[in-house]
Structure 1
């Protein structure tokens, strides 16, 4: 299988705090990889390192054969990596359509008719076509999360970094998210999911990396992870799941 992303011995320190310590993992093309762990495990920091929000203190990141660690976010975005944020950040006074159009033009590098055509496609994918003319500030949390995913999709990424997209979702909303991510995988997108909602992650991820205190403590299939005694003790058991 073709390797799309390879993170080797990644370390990120903030002063005396080591947020990520000597982390190594890979992602193949068209794979869904989950990253789990307790609060403070370093999961979001990993997303920030891959997307260029922070440079690593040490270690390397290769994406599609190119070394990208330390590159600015706008360059990494143009290479084909898009991300969502835990807290959706739409332009609340713009419509759903306008929010996506901003992404298509600014981050996606599209213009005019091509940008609008891409927005139409994304609206259909995320299931917000009927809400296209509503202000983003009027959307529910579940709809805002789908809009956040849509904004990431407007750049036509090869890799989507999704940070806590199922947080606070009801059971029916989780089912809708599952359908959305399954559709994205069928379209050839590679995905890294950082999640706390285990019922969601274990159904969609093909492999799972488990972190604790900045370090990888386990890696395997969802079934292997759910039976791993160290994971149960450190993470799953603590949450009673």
Structure 2
């Protein structure tokens, strides 16, 4: 089953084209990585998928349904969860309270109904010991884990990860990758934007390369990273 499909999606801000005829799809249980230089349009693409931005043209489908003009809230309730590049938790709330907020609004359920789900997510993301710690007191790794936990608390079918490994040590990154691999093993479909390529390639089965809002290449990670065009554009290597 196709979980996500974009068909010729374009978006401009004045003369600046941030998405230029983007077309691709993601099947259920797949993990797709997205790479590209800064300013390539990666986060804009996520905003188009989640409904935070509406395209000027083209079509966005989730689970076979046209959601091009559907609100971000409606897409979340359909099963789209997202982490952000810069974690922005509710600093005055505890870790557990952050998850409860995400789960109640993301699933449209009562606090009582989501309590068990939130406890399960805390356990699997390694945050149970920090459940009662105010989010404002967390170090970077735990803020990243909380960002992932909040997305998981919505019980997503499609999980969008935006540079979640950035800034972590090698050991911290390895632990995070292990968690993401376990999420994928449960059948959650993942689309992951990342600059830490060894982490990304240990999870995804395909890579998509963006440059100036256009899809430059999409395919198996090894083939993509051996591509002359990709190395010139993304890695800055003059071949």
TM-score (norm 2): 0.97
Sort the Cα spacing of 1:84 and 1:238 in 2 relative to 1 into closer, same or farther, 3 A.
farther
| Structure 2 residue ranges without an equivalent (≥5) | none
1:203 corresponds in structure 2 to: 202
| Structure 1 residue ranges without an equivalent (≥5) | none
DSSP 3-state at the match of 2:217? strand
Give the Cα–Cα distance (whole angstroms) in 2 for the partners of residues 110 and 44 of structure 1.
29
1:218 corresponds in structure 2 to: 217
2:145 corresponds in structure 1 to: 146
Give the Cα–Cα distance (whole angstroms) in 1 for the partners of residues 20 and 105 of structure 2.
34
1:121 corresponds in structure 2 to: 120
Q: Deviations over 1:189-228 (max 9, x none)?
A: 0000011111211111110000111111111111111110
Structure 1 residue 138 displacement after superposition: 1.0
Give the Cα–Cα distance (whole angstroms) in 2 for the partners of residues 110 and 104 of structure 1.
8
Paired residues of 1:109 and 1:155 also in contact (CA < 8 A): no
Moved over 4 A (4+): none
Q: Deviations over 1:24-76 (max 9, x none)?
A: 11101000000100011011110000000000011101111100112111011
1:7 corresponds in structure 2 to: 6
2:178 corresponds in structure 1 to: 179
Paired residues of 1:126 and 1:146 also in contact (CA < 8 A): yes
DSSP 3-state at the match of 1:77? helix
DSSP 3-state at the match of 1:107? helix
Q: Deviations over 1:118-167 (max 9, x none)?
A: 11111012110011111111111111111111111111110011111011
1:193 corresponds in structure 2 to: 192
Aligned length: 238
**Could you tell which deviates more after superposition, 176-185 or 111-120?**
111-120
